[in-house]
A and B are shown apart, each in its own frame.
Chain A
Amino acid sequence: MSTHLVGQRVKRLEDPDLLSGRGQFVDDLNLPGMLHAAFVRSPVAHARIQNIDISEAAALPGVHIVWTARDLPANMHNRRLLLQVPNPAILHTITQEPLASKETCFVGEPIAVVVAESRHLAEDACERVNVEYKPLPVSPDCETALKPGAAVAHMEFQDNIAAQFTLGYGDVEAAFRAADHVFQDNYFQHRGTANPMEGRGVVAVFDPIFHNFTVWSATQSPFIIRRMLVDMFEVEESTIRVVAPKDVGGGFGPKGMSYPEEVVIPALARELSRPVKWIEDRREHFLTTTQERDQLWDVSIAVDNDGKIRGLRGRLAHDAGAYVPWGIITPYISTTTIAGPYVVPAFKFDTTAVFTNKPPTTPLRGAGRPQAVFAMERTLDLVAQELDIDRAEIRRRNLIPAEEMPYKMGLIFRDGAPVIYDSGDYPKCQAIAVERACYNDFPARQKEAREDGRYIGIGIANAVEGTGLGPFEGASIKIAPSGRIVLQTGAAPQGQAHHTTLAQLCAEELNVPIESVDIVTGDTNAVSLGVGTFASRIAVNAGSSVKIASRTVYGKLMKLAATVLQVREDDLEMEDGVIRITGEQGDSVTFSDLAKMMNGVPGFKLPEGIEAGLEATSYFQPSQAAYSNGCHIAEVEVDPETGLVSILRYIVAHDCGNLINPMIVDGQVQGGVAHGVGNALLEHLYYDADANPVTTTFAEYLLPTAESVPDVEILHLETPTPNNPLGVKGAGEGGTLPAAAVIAAAIEDALRPFGVRFRDAPILPHQIIEKIAVANQ
C-alpha cells in the first residue's frame, strides 16, 4: 500500500488548533517582564520636524523610556532601512529612517516611541509627546507630482521622479503606421490596503549573556527582516533570530516588507534588557503598512480590421508613495504584464515611478498585475466595441496558441531573464470558461432581463502571472530518534496551509501518514538561508525543496536499512515508518531504530559507506518563473437607481499546473477573487488634497463581506510547468488579477443602454449614478 497524498483534498493540519482558540499569533506571546510600546506618528503628510519635547511623557508613571531619532543606537543615526531590491533604474534610493529625524514624508511616519508597563499607558504617554512641525508643500498624487513645478515629496530632491525606464521590443512606430486602427484611453486603479485581519506586530528579546536578539514578527519574510537587522545593528547574522509565529493572520504582500518598528522594538529590548511588544492597531495599518495600486495608464493599441493586435504602447505613472523599500518591483511587473496572454508583435512602454507624500506602495496581492490586466482588458473591450466584434471573440483571435509554448514574449522580466511563458493552453482556458458561463446565450438572457427592466451584463478577462520566482527557498528533512519526521523551512505561512501542503509532499515521498511529519516554518534558525512568502512562490520553491530533500532522506534510509538487514535495497519496502524485507515476515527496522543508530555510539564507527545524519537540506533554484494563467467571466446586475452592483455568477478557469491540494488551491482562488471584488467595487483609500488619509476605519474603507462576494465557479486546467520537479505554478494571486477588469466590463455591459464607460476602479455606487446622470444630459 502506498500513501497517495499529493493531488488530494487533504484536510488542513493547521485547523484544529485555530478552531479551538489555540492559535499562536504574535500578540498571543506573553513573556515574563514584557513591556509594551506605542508610536507617536506624524499627523501631517509633509513637514520639517522642528522640535520634540518628551519631558511630560517620560515623567508619567509606568513609562520606562521615550525615544526619538536622536536616542536610537549611535550607529543608526543618519541610517535608513535597507533597500531590499535595488535596481539601476532607481534615481533616488530613499527608504524610511527607523524614526524620522528631520522631515516626515507621510501621515503615520513614526517620530517617537514610548515603552511602558502596558499598552494603555504607552498610548497615554504618546499623547504627551509634543512635536512641533513646520508644514511643507505636499506631493499629493502621481499625476500632480509629475507636473512642472510640482511640490517635491522630499526636501532633498529637485523633482518627484523615483525611477524611470522604458521596456519594449519590435518596431512599434511601423506597427502603428501600418495598422487599420489606433485606439487610445487612460485608466486608473486606486490605492487599496492589504488589511489582513491581523495587523503587523513585533516582540523582541535581547539576551545580554550571548548578545543575541530573538525577534518575533507577524511577517511573510523573517529572512528579509534578518537582513535588515544585520545591516541596521551591524552585527553578525548568527546573533539575530527572526521568527514568524506559527500563525500569522494574513499577509497579502505588505507583511513581506521590513518596517521601522522591526528595528526600533529590538533596539528598545536591548536598551531596556526586557522583552518589548508592539502590536499594530487598525488605524496604524491604514496609515503605515504599505499599500498598492495607484497607477495612471495611458494605453494606445494598434489593430487591424479583424481585431488582430499589431502593437501596444503607452505610458505608466506609478505612485511609489514616499519611499521605495521594495525598489521598483511593482511598476516593473506591471509593465511586463500588460501584454498578458496575447500576441503583441510590437511593444513600448515608458514607466515612471513617482514620489508622493503617501505610504509607500509595494506588492499587494497581484503586485502591479491587476492594474496592467485592467488596462489591457479595458483596452480590448474598447477595440471590441469600436470594431463591433464580440469581446470573447476578439480575445480568442489574439490569444497565444498552445502550440507556440514555450512562448518568448519579447520582454525581459525583473529577474533579468527573458519572459518565457513556459506552458499553458490559453485558448482552451478561455473556451472552458465561456462554455461554463453560457456566454454565448448571454445576449438572449440580457434582452429578456432588459424587457423586465433589469440591467444585467457580462464581462470577460484573461491574465497571465509569473509565479514561483527564485532565487530559492530551502527545506530540510530529518528523521528524529522518535521516528517522526522533522520538516523545517524558512518559508512562512499566513493562512496558505504550508504545513499541510509541504507535509503532503514529504509524507508521500517517505510513504508515511501525514500526521508523522512535524513542521517548523518561518524561523531563521530552521535553515540557514531564506527569502520569503510572496509572489506566489512557496509551492514552487519550498515545495520542490521538500520533495528533493525527502528523496535524499529516502535514499539514505533505504541504504542504511539494506546495510542493517544485509539485503539489497531492491528487496526492501518502506511503509509507515518501517522498512522491511519484501515478502518476508519479521525482518524489519523502523525509522526510529535507524535514527537512533545514526546518533552514533561514542567511539564506534558508523556502518561502512554510510554518511552521518538521516537528514537532507535542499535549496531548489527555479530556472525562471512558472507562468499561471486564467480566464474570468462575471455576470452582474446593476441597479441604475442606487448604483448597487450584484454579482450573479463568477467563473474562473485557472491553470496553475499540478495541484498539490485542490481544496487549498480553490480556497486561494476564491479568496483572490474576493480581494478583486474589493478592488472592483469597494476599496478606495481616499486622501484629501494635502495627502491626509480620510478612510482609516472599516466603516470608511469597506472590505468585501459574505454578502458581496459570490461563490466562484472554479475550473482547473493542469498544464505542468517543466521548470520545477513538482510541475506546479503559483496559485495565490490569480484570483485577483482580472477581477476588477471583468467586473468593470460587466457593469459597462449592463449599462450599455446608457452608453457609459468605466476607466477607473473601484467603481462605487455614486460613480455609477453620476455617470448615468452625465450620459443622460
Chain B
Amino acid sequence: MTDGDMHEVSLTVNGVQYDETVESRWSLADFLRHKLRLTGTHLGCEHGVCGACTVLLNGRSVRGCLTLAVQANEKSVETVEGLAPTETELNVLQQAFWENHGLQCGFCTPGILMTLTEFLRDNPDPSETEVREALSGNICRCTGYQGIVAAAMDAAEKLRNSGQ
C-alpha cells in the first residue's frame, strides 16, 4: 500500500468547513489529529474498545479509530475542541468535570465528554445506573469513575435547571 489511494473529503468540524485530500485507509481520528491538527481527540486502543477517540458524526457518537476519514465526507463532526463556548470558558458539562474531579490524566476525557454530550442530549434526566451504562464504552484507568459519574449527574441537573 502506498500513498496512491487518495480521496477528496469535504466536511465540517465544529462548524468549520474543511476540504482535504486523504488516503482511504486513514481513520477519522488520525485525520483530525494529524491533518487538521485537532489533537484533542485521543487514540487509546485503535481497536474500538476504549472510547478515547469518541467524536460525534452528524450528531451521533462514533469511534474515531474505527471510522474512516472518507466516511465523514459531506458530514459534520463535533470534537472536544468544539464544546467550550469561548476560549476562556467551559460549558456546563466541562465545568461539572472540573468541579467533581472527573478527570486525572485527562487522556480519556475528550471521548467521555463526547459520549456524555450525546447521552445527556438524549436523556436529560438520567439515573446513575443509566449514566454508568452510557459510560460502559469508555475506559478510564485513573479515576475509578466516581468523579465522572458525579460530574454527569451534576451537569444533567444544571442543564435541566437552565433549560438548555
**Chain A residues in the interface with B (C-beta under 8 A):** 11-12, 14-16, 18-23, 25, 27-28, 30, 60-62, 118, 120-121, 124, 194-198, 247-250, 252, 281-282, 494-497, 663-664, 666-667, 670-675, 697-699, 703-707, 709, 711-712, 735
B146 touches A197 (CB 8 A): no
Option from A61, A120, A252, A706 in Cβ contact (under 8 Å) with B25:
A120
Option from B46, B47, B87, B104 in Cβ contact (under 8 Å) with A671:
B104
B50 touches A16 (CB 8 A): no
A25-B107, A120-B25 known; A707+B44 contact, CB < 8 A: no
A698 smallest CB distance to B (angstroms): 4
> Could you pull out 26 A-B pairs where Cβ atoms are within 8 angstroms?
A15-B97, A19-B83, A20-B83, A21-B81, A22-B40, A23-B39, A23-B40, A23-B106, A62-B2, A120-B1, A124-B1, A197-B50, A197-B139, A197-B142, A198-B107, A248-B105, A249-B107, A495-B105, A667-B101, A667-B143, A671-B143, A706-B131, A706-B138, A706-B140, A706-B148, A712-B146
Q: Does residue B6 face the partner (Cβ distance < 8 Å to A)?
A: no
B98 touches A19 (CB 8 A): yes
Option from A18, A197, A671, A675 in Cβ contact (under 8 Å) with B52:
A197
Q: Does residue B61 face the partner (Cβ distance < 8 Å to A)?
A: no
Tell me which residues across on chain A come within 8 A of B99, comparing CB atoms.
11
A198 touches B42 (CB 8 A): yes
A14-B106, A20-B94, A197-B44 known; A62+B3 contact, CB < 8 A: yes
B105 touches A198 (CB 8 A): yes
- Known pairs A20-B80, A247-B105, A670-B144 / 9 extra A-B pairs, C-beta < 8 Å: A15-B97, A19-B80, A21-B79, A120-B1, A250-B142, A667-B144, A703-B141, A706-B140, A707-B135
Q: Does residue B154 face the partner (Cβ distance < 8 Å to A)?
A: no
Main SS at interface, chain B = loop
For A9, the closest partner residue in chain B by CB is: B101
Q: In whole angstroms, what is the CA distance A16 to B113 when docked?
A: 13
Option from A248, A252, A712 in Cβ contact (under 8 Å) with B141:
A252
Q: In whole angstroms, what is the CA distance A252 to B104 when docked?
A: 12
A195-B141, A697-B47, A712-B146 known; A21+B135 contact, CB < 8 A: no
Q: Which of B51-79 contact A (CB under 8 A)?
A: 52, 79
For A279, the closest partner residue in chain B by CB is: B43
B90 touches A19 (CB 8 A): yes
Tell me which residues across on chain A come within 8 A of B1, comparing CB atoms.
120, 124
Q: Does residue B41 face the partner (Cβ distance < 8 Å to A)?
A: yes
Q: In whole angstroms, what is the CA distance A16 to B44 when docked?
A: 21
Option from A15, A120, A703 in Cβ contact (under 8 Å) with B103:
A15
Option from B37, B39, B105, B113 in Cβ contact (under 8 Å) with A197:
B105
Q: Does residue B120 face the partner (Cβ distance < 8 Å to A)?
A: no
Main SS at interface, chain A = loop
Q: In whole angstroms, what is the CA distance A670 to B102 when docked?
A: 12
How many chain B residues touch A (CB < 8 A): the figure is 60
A95 smallest CB distance to B (angstroms): 27
B55 smallest CB distance to A (angstroms): 11
B101 touches A663 (CB 8 A): yes
B107 touches A197 (CB 8 A): yes
A282 touches B40 (CB 8 A): no
A30 touches B45 (CB 8 A): no
For B106, the closest partner residue in chain A by CB is: A18
A12 touches B101 (CB 8 A): yes
A197 touches B141 (CB 8 A): yes
Tell me which residues across on chain A come within 8 A of B52, comparing CB atoms.
197
B105 touches A249 (CB 8 A): yes
Give me the 6 closest cross-chain CB pairs, A-B, nearest first: A21-B40, A495-B105, A249-B107, A18-B106, A674-B144, A495-B104
Option from A27, A120, A675, A704 in Cβ contact (under 8 Å) with B39:
A27
Tell me which residues across on chain B come within 8 A of A25, comparing CB atoms.
39, 42, 107
Q: Does residue B126 face the partner (Cβ distance < 8 Å to A)?
A: no
Tell me which residues across on chain B come within 8 A of A697, comparing CB atoms.
45, 47, 49
For A676, the closest partner residue in chain B by CB is: B144
